[in-house]
Amino acid sequence: MIDQVRPRDLPAWLNAARHLGEPVVLDVREPSELRHASVKADGFHLVEMPMGLVTQRLSELDPARPLACLCHHGARSMRVAAFLSGQGFVHVANVAGGINAWSAEVDPSIPLY
């Protein structure tokens, strides 16, 4: 099962999983989206990997580490989270609402688009 975690609740999810390794937030948005709005790594390792490259770059990710997927609204990241879960990733979450919700709930300085 893939956890659905709101941005405001992500720190608690990451801390609860920290015993499995340094948590990762996997931002699967496109480079143009990242240039417009991005999160700052705070209490996690940030990996930017467009959804279309995840299969090619899968070896860059550690399936044992806790990993939360992020996109614009949460649909693409949910698909990536489901894929990773199917590939043996043990502790995977989807950041529900994506960076749009992150701006509303955590950091209003992140521009909406």
Spatial separation of the C-alpha atoms in residues 8 and 27, rounded to whole Å: 17
Token couple for 2: 């893939």
Under 8 Å between Cβ of 21 and 66: yes
**Would you name the residues annotated as active-site residues?**
71
Strand order in the sheet with 67-70: 3-5, 92-95, 67-70, 24-27, 45-48
